[in-house]
Each structure stands twice: as C-alpha cells, then as structure tokens.
Amino acid sequence: MTRPSTVATLRRIGLGGITGSPVAFAVVLVLMALLLAVPFAHNGYVETTFRYILMYATMAYGWNMIGGYTGYVSFGQVAFFGIGAYCSAVLSTMKIDNLFADVALACVVAAAFAILIGLAVLQLKGHYFAIATLGVGLAVTDIVSNLDALGGTGGMNISQVDEAHFSVYYYAMWLVALGAILATYFIARSKLGYAFVAIRENEEAAAVLGINPRRYKIAAWAISATMAGAAGAVFAAANGHLEPSIAFSPDSNIFPIVMALLGGIGTVAGPFIGAVILAGVNELLQRYFVNVHTLFFGAVIVLVVLLLPRGLVWLFGLRGGARAWLKSLTVNKA
C-alpha cells in the first residue's frame, strides 16, 4: 500500500504524475527511428552494442509491466528470456531457422510458462514474490543445465545467416523492442493498464471495484514474459550458440531492472531512456576503467538509488529545483 504521506510529498514537489505522457512517447519513437540507421555504420560492434541495448530495453519493458505497472517486483524475468532463447535453439535443431517462427514460439512458450508459474507465485506479495521469482529463475537454470535434450551445460548451436546479412538480427531486435514500446504505451492507456495500476496501488480496493486481481496479475506477468521471451529468441539467433550460463545470465536479470529504475518505473519512456543511458555509462566504464569498471558500476547503482530514486523521467518533471530534489531524497529516511 502506498503511504499517502510519501506520495503527497512527492506530488507537492512535482514527482508524481500518471504515466503515458505523449511527449515521452514521441521522444522514444524519434530515438527508435534514429536507431534504424545503426546498421548503416557498417560496424559490427556498434550494431551489436545497440542490439544489446534494444534487447535490454525490451526486457526492461517486460519487467516494467509486472514490476512497474502492476507493482510486483519480479527477479525471475531471466527465466522467460532464457526460455525464449531456447525456443530458437530448439527450432534450429529442427531445421526451422526463421526469426518470425522463433519469436512466435518464444512468446507462446514464455507466456504459457508465466501463466503456469503465476498461478502459484502470484499469490505471494512483496518480498515473498520477489524471492519466489528469483527462485524460479535459478531453478529453471538448474533444470535446463541438467537436461541432455537441451545440451546440458554444453548448450546448443543455432545456425546463422552470413556476415553480409547479419543486420537482420538487429532489425528483428528493433522490431521486438518497438513492439514492447507500443504494447506498453497502448496497454498503459487502456482499461488493462488501469487494472494493473489499481492492483499496484491497492489490491483489495481494486477487487472491490470488480477487478479480478489474480487474472490481471497473471495477464501482466504473461505480457511481461512475452516481451522477455521475444527478446531471448532474437538474442539466441544472433548469438549462434546458447548455454545456460548465457541464456540465464544474471546480467539479463539485473540490467533491465536497473535500467527501468534509472529511467523511471511505471512510465512508458523510462525503460528505454534508462537502457540507453546505462549502456552508455557501462561502455564508458569499460573503456576507461578496464580493471575496475565493475567497481564503478556498483557505485553507479548506489548513486542512482540514492540520488534518483524515482528515475530520470521523474526528475525532469521536477518543479522546485535542487531544493525540492534534495527534499525528495529524505522522503524515505527512517
């Protein structure tokens, strides 16, 4: 439940506001349009970097649906990502190398898994839900690692297009990311979005207004799983090889969350902005602090949490300047 006092304080200094501002959406779309030009740089590394950004952004949108809009903080999104990735690998072993088929199967399987698991874990709240989802992610990793049919820890290979046509993976990821952005935008403004937010704000009160919390929580989770699964499918195809440590990497779990938080959770623009900035910061750290960049990355997270607790999107809506910002930082002091 939200503490009225906290929210009120944040409101007074301009940190509140419901999501889905058309301006934010427009900015994201413009940036997305610019990203269409990336393959023309003919630099594989730049293309891969942006493909990763789009991938993490898609996952951040996925996380945002359940964690940002519905208020259920999931640490198990990597399971859906990995499952989506393995869909590509399995299809490739069946000689089906079609990105559309990959993504379609990944979406269906990830959503089905989310619904199945959701029936159990979405009964939990708060920390318990968070831990249960973390457990789901790790358990799936462990089970896949022990399945010979999926190559065990050795993994599986996926046939790829040649270097000349490699940008097809970039565009596929771009489309998946665009799908996630548009889906988030339209869902946020729809009845569905209001059901999610109502559940986040107060599940009991939402039920009294006729919202079936269980059904809508599962819907939110299935949507978020679809996004993660689709990103995983394209990732696997572009990677050419898949094994549990890659498919279920802790990075794929934590990066999207940090990105969504940095940008602003429960917003349409936040995950994308967060993904772009975090990737940029990581890039700079890798370049200039080879030996200690992880140390700095830890420091960046600590600073973001302490100084930008509601993300950049909110910060730029702040009224009242530095003083108001400083005041917002003490809201959660014990």
Partner 1 sequence: MHLRPTAALAALILAAGLAAPSAPATAAGDTILFGSPVSLTGNLTKEGHLTQEGYELWKTYVNAHGGIKVGGKTYKVDIKYYDDESKNDTSAQLAERLIDQDHVNFLLGPYGSGTSFTVALIAERKKIPMVEGNGAAEKIFNQGFKYTFGVLSPARRYLEGILEMTRAQKPAAQTVAITAASDAFSQEVAQGAAAWANGHGMKVVYNNKYPDTATDVSSIISALKQTNPDLILNAGHLQDALLVQKGLKEQNVLAKAYGYSVGPDTPDFASSLGKDANDVFGGAQWSDAVKYKGAPGFIASARAYGAAIEATYHHRADYHNAESTAACLAFQYAIERAGSLDPEKVRDALAKLDVTTFYGIIKFDSRGLNVYKPMVVNQIQNGRLTTVWPTFTADGKPKYPTPPWGQR
Partner 2 sequence: MSAPAATEVALRIENIGMRFGGLWALSEVSFEVQRGSVVGLIGPNGSGKTTLMNVISGVYKPTTGEVTYAGKRIADVPTHEVCHLGIARTFQVVKPFASLTVRENVAVGAMYGRSGGKRSTRASFERAQELLEIVGLSRVADRPASDLTIPDRKRLEVAKALALDPDVLLLDEVMAGLNATEVDEALELLRDVNRRGVTLIVVEHLMKAIVSISTTIVVLAEGKKIAQGAPVAVLASPQVIEAYLGSRWVKRQEALKQIEAEREHAARVQPPDARP
Partner 3 sequence: MQLLAQDLVNGILAGGILAVVALGFSLVWGIMNIINLAHGAFIMLGAYVTYQLFVSFHLDPFLSLPISFVLLFGLGYLIQRFLINWVARAPILTTFLLTFGLSLLIVNLALIVWTGDTRGVSTSYSGANFTALGVTVPWAKFFTLLVALAITGVMHLWLTRSKTGRAIRATSMDIGAAQLSGVRTPQIYAIVYALSAGLAGVAGTLISLSYALTPTMGEPFLIKAFVVCVLGGLGSVQGALVGGLAYGIVEAFATQIDLPIGTQHISGSGLQDAIALVVLLIVLVVRPTGIMGKATA
Contacting residues toward partner 3, per CB under 8 A: 3, 6, 67, 73, 120-121, 123-124, 126-128, 130-132, 134-136, 138-139, 142-143, 145-149, 254, 257-258, 261, 265, 292, 294-295, 297-302, 304-306, 309, 329-330, 332-334
- Distance between CA atoms of 238 and 316, rounded to whole angstroms? 36
293-307 helix and 270-288 helix, angle to the nearest 10 degrees: 150
Query: Count of residues binding partner 2 (CB under 8 A)?
Result: 37
Q: Which range of residues in 49-57, 143-151, 208-216, 281-289 is near partner 2 by CB under 8 A?
A: 208-216
Q: In this complex, which beta carbon is closest to partner 2, that of residue 121 or of residue 195?
A: 195
User: To the nearest whole angstrom, how small is the minimum distance from the Cβ of residue 211 to partner 3?
Assistant: 21
Contact in structure between 252 and 22 (CB atoms under 8 Å): no
Which of residues 121 and 238 has its CB atom nearest to partner 2 in the complex?
121
Find the part of the chain contacting partner 2 (CB under 8 A) among 201-209, 220-228, 229-237, 298-306.
Answer: 201-209
Applying CB under 8 A, among 53, 62, 200, 268 the residue interacting with partner 2 is 200
d(CA 273, CA 26) in angstroms, rounded, equals 12
* Coil vs helix vs strand at 157: strand
Contact call for residue 207 and partner 2 (CB under 8 A): yes
Single out the residue of 279, 308, 310, 328 in contact with partner 1 (rule: CB under 8 A).
279
191 binds, among partner 3, partner 2, partner 1, none (CB under 5 to 8 A by kind): partner 2
Nearest partner of 227 among 187, 283, 274, judged by Cα: 187
How many of the other CB atoms lie within 10 Å of CB of 183? 16
Binding partner of residue 317 among partner 3, partner 1, partner 2, none, CB under 5 to 8 Å per kind? Answer: partner 1
Asked if 299 is part of the footprint of partner 1 (rule: CB under 8 A), the reply reads no
189 binds partner 2 (CB under 8 A): yes
Q: Which stretch binds partner 2 (CB under 8 A): 207-215, 228-236, 248-256, 269-277?
A: 207-215
> Which residue, 195 or 278, is less far from partner 1 as judged by CB?
278
- Token couple for 128: 């318990």
Q: In the 3-class helix/strand/coil scheme, how is 215-247 assigned residue by residue?
A: HHHHHHHHHHHHHHHHHHHHHHHHHCEECHHHH
Nearest CA among 231, 300, 264 for reference residue 58: 231
Q: Identify what 299 binds: partner 3, partner 2, partner 1, none; CB under 5 to 8 Å per kind.
A: partner 3
Per-residue b or e along 34-70, where b marks 16 or more CB atoms closer than 10 Å to that residue's CB? ebeebbeeeeeeebbbbbbbbbbbbbbbbbbbbbbbb
Cα–Cα distance, 180 to 230 (Å, whole number)? 9
Q: What per-residue string of b and e applies to 93-112 under the rule 16 or more CB within 10 Å gives b?
A: eeeeeebeebbebbbebbbe
Residue 149 CB, shortest distance to partner 2, in Å, is: 37
Residues that bind partner 2 (CB under 8 A): 1-5, 7-8, 11, 16, 18, 67-68, 71, 73, 125-126, 189-191, 194-195, 197-198, 200-202, 204-213, 265
